[in-house]
Structure 1
Amino acid sequence: VKRTMKAYGKSKPDKDLSEMIEDARKKAVKRSALNFDQFETHLLSLNEHEETNAFTETARLLYSNEDFASRMLHLRDKEGFICDMDGVIYRGGVLIDGVKRFLSWIKHEKKKFTFLTNNSKHTPKQLQQRLERIGLHLEEEVFLTSAQSTAAFLLQQKPYNGTCFVIGGTGLHEAMDDVGFIETSEKPDYVIVGESDEYSHKEIIKATQLVHAGARLICTNSDVSDPVENGSIEPSGGAWVSVIEVATGKKAYFPGKPNPLMMRNALDRLNLHSSEAVMIGDRMETDVLSGIESNLSPVLVLSGVTKESDLEKFPYLPYLVLDNVGAIPPAEFEPDA
């Protein structure tokens, strides 16, 4: 019990003991901090058998949730935070509750962080401008996209004179240009599919023909859908590339999440080892899986695609489950105005 209490930290001195006992019965992600000193004083003053049983029951509740408390402490001790964007920082064009508090704590504690997204449509500059419009002001270098990870991977595969046919947004076209690949529709080395606002039937047909003729098929990520503003979804790159896979009988390679390649790129940017960082995301099949496979203690937030009821569908679990990133700073942390 003492170990658990210390893990929870101190609560306000005037917090009523009965209120703290009630807090101990609540769901872990909702529970307030508890004060060990008050519990210890209460324990030493117990005389009646009934009171002892009540305290023992409270101790049992605390013990059953000790793992949550110790994992929260472990999480807050991490030096680096790798955060997904869609469903973690914003959903559609709306900032998610708790994000500003989380970033204020990151800055206060001098933690390292990077925002990464499987959506290859936008450039880092466009992402920076998008977040500025909803009230977050960050450096362009903070962002890492699956388009950049794809480009880095293909540069390793073909360092010189690489050619590609690209279906995707500005972010993917720019990333491939940055590593020196030439776009062409005549016998390219690679066909690369990413997110786009304007997929065309003509492009899909051309890509299919090029892959059938021998071009290697690459898709920036395996996500088949993306969340949008009204709580609905829209098809993503992983859905569109499946059309080419079925038509040609050839499989695509996905450099984005959950491929550990993208996690290594993020760790390289932060100059950290996997044991020093954590992955935060809203998707079990990409964010949490990539965190597990990269030894990054993945944290699932319930502010995006995956809901708590979905957890039973998977053969693996996240390190922690939180409502949103605002639950990561300690309860006593007060962000600057």
Structure 2
Amino acid sequence: MKYKGYLIDLDGTMYLGKEPIPAASRFIKRLQENKIPYLFVTNNSSKTQKEVADNLIQNFGVQTAEDEVYTSSLATADYLTSLGGGKKVYIIGETGIRRALKNAGFVEDETNPDYVVVGLDRQVTYQDFETATLAIQKGARFIATNKDTNLPSDKGMVPGAGSLVALLIASTRVQPTFIGKPEAIIMEAATKTIGLTKEEVIMVGDNYETDILAGINNDVDTLLVLTGFTSLKDLEHVEQQPTYLLNSLDEWVF
């Protein structure tokens, strides 16, 4: 089947930690040569679009533009804008989420925010969690960029945004609205951004729990590449299989 557009994961699909996946740059080049639009869809809220694109270009030989990147930060900003509510936010997060919300017209407020937004934050303190907990208890709406509890690193699997979110769930007994994969919010926003319907795109990724379930749960075909998180053994335990399964992106035929 010919797809008109591709939604593509990053870590584990385009690269593995700091290591390039050679087939990835060839895959993007083939998309470009065939004039097929694509959008990198990432749960990483810590980096801006430009930072993600620059990282791909400089470190992994993937030539791309920043408007071909859609992060959970952008999806969060778009979602909060669509609600049409207040513009005050308390943020636990890094540059990506702070910049996206600021660009969308939101202002940071510690005392009486309309929303508490939580993403990956490697400098977070107890005081930050205390402020967020009290704001949620007072009625601020709890928003989480993504569920990922761990991130791959050269040290091993380190805590991700989902681990920070879990602390606040425990301290507030409030469940947040999650934005990133596998949620519908980011998938609907990504298809809108690429300008195609769900039937016209395919989700490409290495992680069954995020990338593939994002497709399965939202009626988007999926391509699982075995270069990252999910192994063949893992697939033995799941009922709904990806639409396509490859060892390498080099095997994909447009």
Fold in common (TM above 0.5): yes
Shift, 1:210, TM fit: 1.4
Aligned twin of 2:80: 154
More displaced, 258-267 or 237-246?
258-267
Structure 2 residue corresponding to 1:99, chosen from 24, 41, 45? 24
> How far off its partner does 1:97 sit?
2.7
Q: 1:81-102 deviations in whole A, cap 9, x for unaligned?
A: 1001111111212221301221
Q: Give the C-alpha shift of residue 225 in structure 1.
A: 1.1
Q: TM-score, normalised by structure 2?
A: 0.95
RMSD: 1.4
Distance 1:98 1:316 in 2: 26
Q: Name which of 191, 207, 227 aligns with 1:283.
A: 207
Distance 2:63 2:23 in 1: 16
Question: Could you tell me which residue of structure 2 aligns to residue 189 of structure 1?
Answer: 114
Choose 1 or 2 for highest CA Rg: 1
How far the C-alpha of 1:300 sits from its partner, in A, is: 1.1
> Equivalent residue for 1:235?
159
Matches within 5 A, 1:26-41: none
Residues 147-199 of structure 1: CA distance to partner in whole angstroms, max 9, x if unpaired? 1001111111135x411100011000011111111111011011110012322
d(CA) in 1 for partners of 2:99, 2:196: 27
Verify: 1:259 aligned to 2:187, yes or no.
no
Q: CA deviation at 1:325?
A: 2.1
Select the structure that is richer in helix: 1
Give the match for residue 217 of structure 1.
142
Tell me, in whole angstroms, the C-alpha distance in 1 between the residues paired with 2:122 and 2:57.
21
Unmatched runs of 5 consecutive residues or more in structure 2: none
Which residues of structure 1 form unaligned runs of 5+?
Answer: 1-73, 331-337
SS in 2 for 1:121: coil
- Equivalent residues in 2 for 1:43-54, closer than 5 Å: none
Residue in 2 that maps onto 1:88: 13
1:307 aligned residue (222, 225, 231): 231
Three-state SS of the structure 1 residue aligned to 2:178 is: coil
User: What is the CA–CA distance in structure 1 between the aligned matches of 2:233 and 2:35, rounded to whole Å?
Assistant: 35
Give the match for residue 7 of structure 1. none
Report the equivalent of 1:298.
222
Give me the TM-score of the superposition, normalised by structure 1: 0.72
User: Distance between the aligned counterparts of 2:111 and 2:84, measured in 1?
Assistant: 18
Corresponding position: 1:273 with 2:185: no
1:321 partner amino acid: L
Q: Are the aligned partners of 1:98 and 1:327 in contact in 2 as well (CA < 8 Å)?
A: no
Q: Is the 8 A contact 1:280 1:299 kept in 2?
A: yes
SS at structure 2 position matched to 1:122: coil
Measure the CA separation in 1 of the matches of 2:231 and 2:125: 33
Matched, 1:320 2:247: no
Partner of 2:47: 122
In the alignment, which of 31, 53, 56 is matched to residue 131 of structure 1? 56
Identify the match of residue 110 of structure 1 among 31, 35, 38.
35
1:267-292 CA distance string (max 9 Å, x none) = 11221111111001111111111101
Which one of the candidate residues 178, 200, 210 is aligned to 2:125? 200
Confirm or deny: 8 A CA contact 1:280 1:298 kept in the other structure: yes
Greater RCO structure (CA 8 Å; 6+ sep): 2
Other-structure match for 1:67: none
